[in-house]
Amino acid sequence: MALIVQKYGGSSVADAESIKRVAKRIVDTRRAGHDVVVAVSAMGDTTDELLDLANEVAPIPAPRELDMLLSSGERISMALLAMAIHSMGFEARSFTGSQAGMITDSQHGAARIVDVTPIRLREALDEGAIVIVAGFQGFNRDTRDITTLGRGGSDTTAVALAAALDADVCEIYSDVDGIFTADPRVIPSAQKLDHIISEEMLELAANGAKVLYIRAVEYARRHGVLIHARSTFSSSEGTYVLGEGMKNPRESEGAAMEEPIVAGVATDFSQAKITVAGVPDVPGKAAEIFKIVAKSGANVDMIVQNVSATGRTDISFTVPKADAAAALKALAGEQTEVGFQNLIHDDQIGKLSVVGAGMRTHSGVSATLFEALSAGGINIEMISTSEIRISVVLRDADLAEAARSVHTAYGLDGEVEATVHAGTGR
Ligand code: ASP
Ligand code: MG
């Protein structure tokens, strides 16, 4: 008998029918003799609808009240799910985040879990019940208020529960079959991975892959939780996300293979590029510029600076499209102080990243990337690397084609086209 934590995303519990389907899946797991703890998201687009509603009554909704409102989405789905399980003849009990002992800091809308005290969950499990927990929410001890963990936060709830209860596995169910070598909507020949190491998963998630939420993967990595990302809509196994030193549960079945050098290719259309042109080439200017940008709240990703021949240089960097306006405004306000000539905003860029832990020990990985791009006549605008990742910025119109040829160049193409359930991965 194992203890299994399962997380169901909003698309898996979008209506009464889906809730019943999920209930059946939970009951099947229980029937197989396992203890089950479920973290559930709000039904379908409930969270977005509640957000819209909040914005209709107030231009800037009070953060405390917004969390009260948004946390209600998960209360609806948890109660309905428990009812559905009951009517199938099984004992199920739902709990809010605070009842479940999900203790967070006080940061409304982006709270971090600081402690998990699942006393009531343990009791319910001991009494033979299936436990259903509202995802995405917690409680702060100092303010005694309800908090939410940020969009997509139910993944983190599930992983935190798995860590606190010492579960055997944390299954994250969504409408995609697992983790792919690339986004199957961009690259139809992408294939589902049997497993991926969490370090690679973090790089993919940070660079555009949306299947798993970064914070959840980080939490799992830190606490040694085994994640199994799989689909609600099929019974086939998904992808295991392995932390350091973790063994692939399927390896004993003979699935062991030589690890590929590249695990996947990520595409990201969400960034914009800002160029600060004609910056005086003297010490301290980059510090000034990025202090201004940081103050505007923009999150800088890639940076390049040209060599200067004329005593002035251009500094380009990327930020999320949503942050670009604030960064531009802040920079424009300090133009004379910094002494640059002008600002250029470009939101027609795309970022392509190649991720693989094997890069540490293999040479020639970047050469393969650049050759594939050059064969396609694709121009590279920026380059950045980490130990296990190479990213390039391109024209956004070139990104899909570039990603396909790079995917092929690394030998990642599958034999059969990936099935896409038109899902969002949530
Ligand atoms: N319902 C929340 C959201 O839509 C949390 C989640 O789905 O994980 O962001
Ligand atoms: Mg949702």
Helix/strand/coil (H/E/C) assignment for every residue in 213-279: CHHHHHHHHHHCCCEEEEECCCCCCCEEEECCCCCCCCHHHCCCCCCCCCCEEEEECCEEEEEEEEE
3-state secondary structure of 413: coil
Q: Within 10 A of 334 (CB to CB), how many other CB atoms are there?
A: 15
Pairing of strands 264-268, 312-320: unpaired
- Let me know: does 46 contact 10? Beta carbons within 8 Å: yes
Confidence bin at 51 (pLDDT 50/70/90) = very high
Does some domain include residue 405?
no
Check which CATH number belongs to the domain holding 75 and give it. Answer: 3.40.1160.10
What totals of helices (H) and strands (E) does the chain contain, helices first? 12, 20
What pLDDT score does 308 carry?
79
Query: Residue 254 falls within a domain, yes or no?
Result: no
Domain range for 154: 3-174
Is 61 part of any domain?
A: yes
How would residue 249 be classed by pLDDT, with cut points 50, 70 and 90?
confident
- Distance, CA of 365 to CA of 373 (rounded, Å): 13
Nearest to 392 by CA among 408, 381, 404, 405: 381
* CB 267 within 8 Å of CB 183: yes
Query: Is 243 part of a structural domain of the chain?
Result: no
Q: Is residue 327 domain-resident? A: no
Q: 109 is written with which tokens?
A: 């809308």
Residues forming beta bridges with residue 319, ordered by sequence position? 272
Q: pLDDT band for position 256 (50/70/90)?
A: low
Express each pLDDT in 272-290 by its tens digit: 999 999 999 999 999 999 9
Q: pLDDT by residue (tens digit) across 24-45?
A: 999 999 999 999 999 999 999 9
Sheet with 349-355: list strands edge to edge.
Answer: 264-268, 349-355, 389-395, 382-386
Structure confidence at residue 411 as a pLDDT band (50, 70, 90): very high
* Cα–ligand 1 centroid distance for 71 (angstroms): 9
Question: How many angstroms does the Cα of residue 411 sit away from the middle of ligand 2?
Answer: 34
Mean pLDDT of 238-267: 83
Give residue 257's pLDDT.
58
Q: Do the domain assignments include residue 101?
A: yes
Exposure on the CB side of residue 48, measured as CA atoms within 13 A:
6
Q: Give the residue, out of 12, 43, 47, with the most ligand 1 atoms within 8 A of its beta carbon, to mutate for a pocket test.
A: 47
Task: Tally the domains of the chain.
Answer: 1
Would you say residue 224 has pLDDT above 90? yes
**Residue-wise pLDDT tens digits, 289-347:** 999 999 999 999 999 998 878 899 999 999 999 999 999 999 999 999 999 999 999 99
Ligand 1 pocket test target in 43, 50, 151 with most atoms within 8 Å of CB: 151
Q: Give a yes or no: residue 30 inside a domain.
A: yes
Pocket test for ligand 1, best of 48, 49, 136 (most atoms within 8 A of CB): 136
How much is the pLDDT for 205? 92
Angle at 266 between CA 344 and CA 356, to 5 degrees: 120
User: What are 38's two structure tokens?
Assistant: 């479920």
Query: Is 27 domain-assigned?
Result: yes
Paired strand residues for 352: 267, 392
Report whether pLDDT(422) > 60.
no
Q: Residue 110: is its pLDDT beyond 90?
A: yes
> Which residue's CA lies nearest to atom 9 of ligand 1?
151
Per-residue pLDDT, 252: 64
Question: Is the Cβ–Cβ distance between 237 and 253 less than 8 Å?
Answer: no
Can you tell me the distance from the alpha carbon of 271 to that of 219, in angstroms, rounded to the nearest whole number? 26
Residues flanking ligand 1, CB < 6 Å: 9-10, 41-42, 47, 73, 135-136, 151-154, 426
Q: Kindly state the tokens that stand for 196.
A: 């991926």
Of the chain, the percentage scoring pLDDT greater than 70 comes to 96
Please report the pLDDT score of residue 70 as a whole number. 98
With CA atoms as reference, report the closest residue to 204 among 254, 259, 167, 241. Answer: 241
| DSSP secondary structure letters along 322-334 | HHHHHHHHHHHHT
The pLDDT tens digits of the residues spanning 372-384 come to 999 999 999 999 9
Residue 55 CA to ligand 2 centre (angstroms): 18
**How far is residue 40's CA from residue 277's CA, in Å, rounded to a whole number?**
48
Atom of ligand 1 at shortest range from CA of 155: 8
Q: Confirm if 29 and 131 have CB atoms less than 8 A apart.
A: no
% pLDDT > 90, the chain: 87
Mean pLDDT of 193-207: 94
56-85 pLDDT, tens digit each: 999 999 999 999 999 999 999 999 999 999
